Structure 1
Amino acid sequence: MANYDIGIDLGTTSIIIYVVGKGIVSKEPSVVAVNKKTDSVLAIGQKAYEMAGKTPAHIVVERPLQNGVISDIDMTEEIVKYFIKKVSSSYVVKPKVAICVPSAVTNVEARAAVNAALSAGARKTFLVEEPIAAALGSGVDISLPRGRMVVDIGGGTADIAVISLNDVVDSTSVKCAGTQFDDRIIQYVRLNHKVLIGEKTAERLKKEIGSVKKVMEDTEMEIKGRSLETGLPVKITVTSDEFIPTLNEFAMTLVVAVKGVLEKTPPELVGDILEDGILLTGGGSLIKGLPELISGETGVQCRVSENPIDCVAIGTGMALDLIADGYSLSYSSDY
Structure 2
Amino acid sequence: MGLFSFLTQEIAIDLGTANTIIIHNDKIVVDEPSIVALDKNSGKLIAIGEKARQMHGKTHENIQTTRPLRDGVIADFHAAEQMIRGMIKMINKKARLLSPSLRIVICIPSGSTEVEMRAVRDSSEHAGGREVFMIYEPMAAMLGIGIDVEAPEGNMVVDIGGGTTEIAVISLGGIVSNKSIRIAGDDFTADIKEYMRHQHNIKIGEKTAETIKLQVGSALPDLDDPPPDFIVRGPHQMTALPMEIPVSYQEIAHCLDRSISKVEAAILATLEHTPPELYADIYNKGIYLAGGGALLRGLAKRLEDKTKIPFHIAEDPLHAVARGTGIALKNVDKFQFLMR
What TM-score, normalized to structure 2? 0.94
The alignment-based identity, stated in percent, is 40
CA distance in 1, matches of 2:252, 2:32: 28
CA distance in 1, matches of 2:275, 2:61: 54
CA distance in 2, matches of 1:93, 1:267: 49
Paired residues in the alignment total 330
Per the alignment, do residues 53 and 328 of structure 1 end up closer, same or farther by CA in structure 2, a change over 3 Å counting? closer
Per the alignment, do residues 33 and 218 of structure 1 end up closer, same or farther by CA in structure 2, a change over 3 Å counting? closer
The answer to whether 1:284 aligns with 2:293 is yes
SS at match of 2:193: helix
Aligned to 2:47: 43
Report the alpha carbon displacement of residue 22 of structure 1 after superposing the two structures with TM: 3.7
CA distance in 2, matches of 1:96, 1:82: 16
The amino acid of 1:128's aligned partner reads I
Report the alpha carbon displacement of residue 199 of structure 1 after superposing the two structures with TM: 1.1
Aligned to 2:87: 83
Per the alignment, do residues 278 and 25 of structure 1 end up closer, same or farther by CA in structure 2, a change over 3 Å counting? same
The amino acid of 1:40's aligned partner reads K
Aligned to 1:147: 154
The answer to whether 1:13 aligns with 2:18 is yes
Aligned to 1:333: 339
CA distance in 2, matches of 1:317, 1:243: 35
Instruction: Give 5+ residue unaligned stretches, structure 2.
Output: none
CA distance in 1, matches of 2:52, 2:170: 37
Which of these residues, 17, 22, 30, is aligned with residue 26 of structure 1?
30
Q: What do the CA deviations read for 1:188-246 (whole angstroms, capped 9, x no partner)?
A: 11001000111111111111111111224373110111211211332211111122122
CA distance in 1, matches of 2:31, 2:124: 17
SS at match of 1:57: coil
Q: What do the CA deviations read for 1:88-123 (whole angstroms, capped 9, x no partner)?
A: 486443020011100011110001000111101111
CA distance in 1, matches of 2:242, 2:71: 31
Contact 1:219/1:241 (CA < 8 Å) preserved in 2?
Answer: no
Aligned to 1:64: 68
The answer to whether 1:157 aligns with 2:161 is no
CA distance in 1, matches of 2:82, 2:235: 34
The amino acid of 2:59's aligned partner reads T
The amino acid of 2:244's aligned partner reads K
Report the alpha carbon displacement of residue 40 of structure 1 after superposing the two structures with TM: 2.2
Pairwise CA RMSD of aligned residues? Answer: 1.5
Aligned to 2:237: 228
CA distance in 2, matches of 1:182, 1:93: 39
CA distance in 2, matches of 1:141, 1:118: 30
CA distance in 2, matches of 1:26, 1:264: 37
Q: Report 1:96-175 matches (<5 A).
A: 96-175=103-182
Aligned to 2:260: 251
Which of these residues, 176, 190, 193, is aligned with residue 186 of structure 1?
193
CA distance in 1, matches of 2:158, 2:320: 12
Contact 2:85/2:128 (CA < 8 Å) preserved in 1?
Answer: yes
What TM-score, normalized to structure 1? 0.95
Report the alpha carbon displacement of residue 257 of structure 1 after superposing the two structures with TM: 0.2
Per the alignment, do residues 313 and 218 of structure 1 end up closer, same or farther by CA in structure 2, a change over 3 Å counting? closer
Once the two structures are overlaid, the 10-residue window that deviates more, 8-17 or 223-232, is 223-232
Which of these residues, 312, 315, 319, is aligned with residue 306 of structure 1?
315
Which of these residues, 205, 215, 223, is aligned with residue 223 of structure 2?
215
Once the two structures are overlaid, the 10-residue window that deviates more, 38-47 or 129-138, is 38-47
Instruction: Give 5+ residue unaligned stretches, structure 1.
Output: none
CA distance in 2, matches of 1:52, 1:224: 18
CA distance in 2, matches of 1:151, 1:269: 16
Contact 1:295/1:302 (CA < 8 Å) preserved in 2?
Answer: yes
Report the alpha carbon displacement of residue 39 of structure 1 after superposing the two structures with TM: 2.2
CA distance in 1, matches of 2:302, 2:28: 31
